[in-house]
Structure 1
Amino acid sequence: MTPSPVEDAEALLTHGTLTIEGRLVQASNATLRCDIELDGVAARCVYKPIAGERPLWDFPDGTLAGREVASYLVSQAMGWRIVPPTVHRDGPYGPGMVQLWIDTDESVDLVALSRANDPAIRRMAVFDAVINNADRKIGHLLPVEGGHVHGCDHGVCFSTEYKLRTVLWQWRGKPLKPLAIQALQKVRAQLDGALGGRLAELVTADEVEATRRRVDLMLKHRVHPYPPEDWPAIPWPPM
């Protein structure tokens, strides 16, 4: 059987040789752009070593890389390819997250995109609700030619407490689209199977169960969630 492009990307990220190119200085945690090569195939990627994670008061130390990978697995399970291929592996500065670099369409106005009634952005709002994303900023949107939009920086997700904090609130309380309901049903079934097992290796059992409950609530009410009442609704700075 011929490997899929996703399987090829995951193999490259998992087994390829990493060469550090530089650091993305605007990131709050150590974020390194690297070249990666395996059997003559080369690409760019982002490497976030656990050793470079900044301690947070509301997430356990050393868990952000695992949450990034868990977000990728949920993205794949929903069938939306929001998160670029992402793996957990060792690197020059120890274990961490390695994610395929995305070349974005620089002609897109990110502020306008974040406010638009765009199907790709609406899917991302649903995805963020599933993973309980506590930091969806405008700068985390990665539009590419053709209209698809990837998302990055998912290290503060999967909390058992409702922490959804995002710039994408334009659909709050509005009915979910049929395709969103189908994606939620798909991921819910997998949470009771292989996906749930893989997530349990990356986040806590309570956090996996909280993910199931969030999906159940969305399937029950079939609307986009409202902002939390006891938590800032928009990340700061929003970019």
Structure 2
Amino acid sequence: MTPSPGTTAELLAKGELTVRGRIREASNAALYCTVVQGEREAACIYKPVAGERPLWDFPDGTLAGREVAAYEVSEATGWGLVPPTVLRDGPYGEGMCQLWIEPDPEPGPDDGLLALVDGEEPGEGWKAIGFAEVGEGRTALLVHADDERLRRLAVLDAVINNADRKGGHLLPAAGGRLYGIDHGVTFNTENKLRTLLWGWAGEPLTAEATGVLATLREGLADGGPLAATLSELITGAELDATRARVDALLASGRHPEPGGEWPAIPWPPV
């Protein structure tokens, strides 16, 4: 999809990109940059394809395109869960360029998304993920918030087959916004959903989610706008698998459950 003039995506795609530093904890090369176009400027993260580490279950050099594809699906939902992301040339070759999101400087007292609690029940306002060892032979229940924003993200992850939804990939921002980042290991043809957001597993989808999935199915149909955009970013087989996941979610009307053939929770979880 060609960015519209004046949009953040256009700034990311066409602005002058300058590397300011490297994010060392990232598993692949991730560079903190500024991008400037005329009087407009923004901070961003640039992940060059040349800095991607090979993975046994994903073709080499495809992670950047998958990140952009995740953004395009997020935009098609209308939920805006992924920061603006484009594929562009940069100082180290082609790569993904994504708007840098600053965390909320003044989080509220009830803005926690993950927690460890004693006991076997999550408590009001929380959903259970599973038990975790916390040292000295003790275990605690890992929980996530029963939060509408997280629930939307769980639906998006099911559609894009996200194999790595860690706690550190959740970014609460100012104004109550929540973003998900790091979508390089998505859109595999095999079921690889690994996430911390299992709290709604097996529960009915909301009416809102069902409506969004129906919209995605229309956009993913042959000749649909989303299908046309994704066909430039992922393979035909991966596009077909995405269609099949949307169809399956609509047919079941429920959030997916762990399949058992793949670890359900990423490591490390946070």
- Name the CA distance, whole Å, in 1 between partners of 2:160 and 2:189: 10
Paired position in structure 1 for 2:25: 26
- Name the CA distance, whole Å, in 2 between partners of 1:153 and 1:40: 29
Matched, 1:195 2:198: no
| CA-based RMSD | 1.6
- Name the CA distance, whole Å, in 2 between partners of 1:237 and 1:175: 29
Alignment of 1:1-239 (within 5 A): 8-106=7-105, 107=107, 108-112=111-115, 115-192=144-221, 193-239=224-270
Tell me which protein shows more helix as a share of its residues: 1
- Name the CA distance, whole Å, in 2 between partners of 1:186 and 1:147: 25
Which amino acid in the other structure matches residue 26 of structure 1? E
Tell me which protein shows more strand as a share of its residues: 2
Alignment TM-score, normalising by the size of structure 2: 0.84
Asked if structure 1 preserves the Cα contact closer than 8 Å seen for 2:113 and 2:145, the reply is no
Q: Select the structure of larger CA radius of gyration.
A: 2
CA-to-aligned-CA distance 1:117-160 (integer Å, 9 cap, x gap)? 00000000000000000000000001112222110000000000
Gaps of 5+ in 1: none
- Name the CA distance, whole Å, in 1 between partners of 2:151 and 2:226: 23
- Name the CA distance, whole Å, in 2 between partners of 1:7 and 1:163: 37
Asked if structure 1 preserves the Cα contact closer than 8 Å seen for 2:104 and 2:174, the reply is yes
User: Are residues 7 and 60 of structure 1, via their aligned partners in 2, closer, same or farther at CA, if it must alter by over 3 Å?
Assistant: farther
Asked if structure 2 preserves the Cα contact closer than 8 Å seen for 1:73 and 1:195, the reply is yes
SS at match of 2:27: coil
CA-to-aligned-CA distance 1:154-213 (integer Å, 9 cap, x gap)? 000000000000000000000000110111011110001021111111111000000000
> What's the offset of the Cα at 1:111?
2.4
Gaps of 5+ in 2: 116-125, 127-142
- Name the CA distance, whole Å, in 2 between partners of 1:39 and 1:50: 27
- Name the CA distance, whole Å, in 1 between partners of 2:65 and 2:49: 9
Moved more, 161-170 or 109-118: 109-118
Asked if structure 1 preserves the Cα contact closer than 8 Å seen for 2:65 and 2:96, the reply is yes
- Name the CA distance, whole Å, in 1 between partners of 2:39 and 2:114: 38
SS at match of 2:175: coil
> What's the offset of the Cα at 1:110?
4.5
Q: How many residues align?
A: 236
Asked if structure 2 preserves the Cα contact closer than 8 Å seen for 1:110 and 1:139, the reply is no
